[in-house]
A and B are shown apart, each in its own frame.
Chain A
Amino acid sequence: MAETNLKALGGLLARQGILVAFVVFMIAFALWNPRFIQIDNVFSVIRSSAILGVMALGVTFVVIGGNLDLSVGSLLSFSAIVVLDLHETPGFGPALAIPAMYAMTMGIGAVIGFLVGYLKLNSLIVTLGMLSAIHGLTLTWSGGQNMDIANQQETWFGIFGRGSALGIPIPVLMFGLLAAILAIILSKTPFGRKVYAVGGNGTAATFSGIPRARVVFLTYIISSFCVATAGLIQASRTMGAQNTVGQGMELEVLAAVILGGASLLGGSGAVFKTVIGVLILGFIQNGLLLAGLQFYVQFVVTWIIIILAVWLDIATKRGKFWSPIA
């Protein structure tokens, strides 16, 4: 019994370790450079993390459900290009372009969800294939051209990326709101519990009457909804997009989710922790920039932090520092 308690304590420490590390990191940087925690700096960090963050929220669902999603970067490019192109199409305008973009992006999400959920194909390969296929689709749609909004003054489209309400930037509001809604869905609804159950032990979940296929399908729908939102913010913020705007983001998103403590095995993780993971990545980047280092130093720092975070997590769970592999 005592041993169980000890293990529970260790597990608790490991689970909250990332939060502790985050606080320590923030305090250390704030002491070193007070500009770091000024409100405008904090907002600018959160705003620049919002796109990555919104995507990470959706991927959290997929990962907790025991799958991977490598297609979110391609899908972001797709949604940004589509919404910009439709916006420029005569007779469309933002009011029609945005719902149409959501419908198309979530349609692709539904295809992935069908392949992984109902056909039970390996999610890594399916989303790898979709990464390539969606990229091809985006290039075909745009003909390889960059998309731009011609009359940037005459549209309210920019509000999602550039506007602010009550002194808070809209992307931050959208990120916060979406995080709150998804956190409630994940932790307070039957559906949320089913996602954990399916990811924790798919077979057991099926035997206890949980529709595994449908749950997995829905996690991909949520993921594609989040990507569409991120694409909207991205397109609106820059009022234009390249075909490769989301390239490579799938792995950064996954890094944020893992940093938040979600296991790639599925069944563990939380929306709140993912938000922390996203913010850690954002603040590290910002802190290193404020320290006068080049942006690419953050890649190396992120590498070390990911390995250490996951290692610490695993080490606490198995009670041994080094792996038992001979």
Chain B
Amino acid sequence: MKNDNMTHLVKNGAIWGFIVLELIFFQVVGSVWSLSQSAFIDPGNMLLLLKQSAPIGIIAVGMTVIMINGNIDLSVGATYALAGIVMLDSMTWPIFVGLGDWAIPLAWLAALLTGCILGAINGLIVWKTGVDAFIVTLGSMLGFRGLVFMYNGQQPTYHLNWTMVDIAEWGAFGLQTSAFVFIGVAFLVWLMMTRTVHGRNAYAIGNNREAAVNAAIRVGPHIMINFVLIGFLAALSAVAFYSGSGSVNPNDGMLFELWAITAVVLGGTKLAGGAGSIVGTFGGVLAIQLLRKGLGHIGAQTETVNLVIGLILIAVLMLDKQLNRKGQEELKL
């Protein structure tokens, strides 16, 4: 029993321990070898971290829910790009232009609606056809990206609205809008997963679908809700990011799905489903961004980041196998 508690503690604390380790490492290396003039653990620097990790972080929160539920979503990067395009393009539609700045909330709404619809398409296919989510979203990753290109060809879509930029750049306590969105989303989804029936059922379905069916949980609608949620969050991430930048490239968001999954797995969520937490994912997202910043801080080439994160992911998996029996299970495909 004591051993169990110990394992539990190591598992949940690991990602935060890792973050602290990263902080110390980069601070010490940066100052001892004087590779950098500025301190790494600087309040401004740390607060900026939240803003920089927001686009992937918001998606990773949704991915956590999907993976706890025992599914996976590879199409989030394409959803992100399409929502961004819809948001910026809709502001130039004749009916919206006349509204002045009132077009902004409508454009946001249009983008979020796009995300929900794309998520619903995925969810409906997974639910009704019984094809595995990996294949369904692998297909829609290609399909949604095709829609992105069909929308505006290979041209970037851009529309700069200074009011919208002001909203995106608005800040308080050193944090900017996207950072607040990230924190808010993480908090709300954490509430959903820990305090609501839907959250409890999502864990139950991921843990043992047969048992969940036998316990009269309607598996389909829960899967559907979660896919709509991740579509919504991918769009929200696009809203938070593109409101400030004002330009979408049709290749934007590629590999976002892989970064999000990496963050989620680092945060301790199991691929097999049924276990994981939003808090862990939050830590995973911060750990990746910290690594990215830290390697830049000590003057390492940016390309080293990919190498290090890949190796850490595999190391985490090996460690996890020692600590967790659930990790030995194969991915449910």
Q: Using a CB–CB distance below 8 Å, which chain A residues touch chain B?
A: 66, 70, 115, 119-122, 124-126, 128-137, 139-140, 143-144, 247-248, 251-252, 254-255, 258, 264-265, 294, 296-304, 306-307, 310-311, 314-315, 318, 322-326
Q: Output the least CB separation between B72 and chain A (Å).
A: 8
CA distance A213 to B148 in the complex (A): 42
Return chain A residues, CB-CB under 8 Å to B223.
325
Complex interface: chain A residues within 8 A of B145 (CB):
296, 299
**Distance A137 CA – B145 CA, assembled complex (angstroms):** 27
Which of the residues B129, B254, B317, B331 comes within 8 Å of A129, measured between beta carbons? B317
A-B residue pairs, 6 tightest by C-beta: A133-B310, A303-B143, A323-B130, A136-B307, A299-B146, A139-B303
Q: A residues within 8 A CB of B306?
A: 132-133, 135-136, 139
Q: Which of A125, A128, A254, A300 is the one whose CB lies under 8 Å from B146?
A: A300
Q: Is B127 an interface residue (CB 8 A)?
A: yes
Take A264-B135, A300-B147, A303-B146 as given contacts and tell me if A121 and B321 are in contact as well, using a CB distance cutoff of 8 Å. yes
B154 vs chain A, min Cβ distance (A): 8
Q: Which residues on A sit within 8 Å (CB–CB) of B74?
A: 251
A125 touches B313 (CB 8 A): yes
Q: A314 — which chain B residues lie within 8 A by C-beta?
A: 129-131
Residues on B with beta carbons closer than 8 Å to the beta carbon of A255? 138-139, 142
Answer whether residue B271 sits at the interface, using C-beta atoms and an 8 A cutoff.
yes
Provide the bound-state CA to CA distance between A284 and B308, in Å: 39
User: Which residue on A lies nearest to B321, using beta carbons?
Assistant: A121
Contact A128 B153 (CB under 8 A): no
Question: Are B142 and A299 touching (Cβ within 8 A)?
Answer: yes
Q: Are A294 and B129 in contact (CB under 8 A)?
A: no
Interface size class of B (residues with CB under 8 A): 35 or more
B314 touches A318 (CB 8 A): no
Q: Report if B213 contacts A (CB, 8 A).
A: yes
Checking A66, A121, A251, A296 against B317 with a beta-carbon cut-off of 8 angstroms, the contacting residue is A121
**Residue in contact with A302 in the complex, picked from B125, B143, B218, B271, CB distance below 8 Å:** B143
Task: List 19 A–B pairs whose Cβ atoms lie within 8 Å, in order of A's numbering.
Answer: A121-B317, A125-B313, A129-B317, A130-B314, A133-B306, A135-B307, A136-B307, A137-B307, A251-B138, A254-B138, A264-B135, A296-B146, A298-B146, A301-B146, A304-B143, A306-B135, A307-B136, A315-B129, A324-B130
Could you say which of A119, A130, A140, A302 contacts B304, with CB atoms under 8 Å apart?
A140
Task: Pick from A296, A304, A325: contact of B130, CB below 8 A.
Answer: A325
Instruction: Please indicate the chain B residues that have their CB under 8 angstroms from the CB of A140 in the complex.
Output: 301, 303-304, 307
The reply on B262 being an interface residue by CB < 8 A is yes
In Å, the complex CA distance between A254 and B150 comes to 23
Given contacts A121-B314, A310-B131, contact A294 B328 (CB under 8 A): no
Count chain A CB atoms within 10 A of each CB in B139, B149, B254, B321 and give the residue with the most: B139
Chain A residues whose C-beta falls within 8 Å of the C-beta of B305 in the assembled complex: 136
Q: How far does the Cβ of A76 sit from chain B's closest Cβ, in whole Å?
A: 15
- Tell me the minimal C-beta distance from A50 to chain B in angstroms: 20
Contact A126 B219 (CB under 8 A): no
**Bound Cα distance A124, B333 (Å):** 11
Judged by a CB distance under 8 angstroms, whether B140 is at the interface is yes
**Nearest CB to that of A320 among chain B residues?**
B130
The answer on a CB contact under 8 Å between A307 and B129 is: yes
Least CB separation from A123: chain B residue: B331
Which residue on B lies nearest to A111, using beta carbons?
A: B314
Chain B CB count within 10 A is highest, among A133, A247, A265, for: A133
* Chain A residue at smallest Cβ distance from B315: A129
Most buried by A among B146, B149, B311, B312: B146
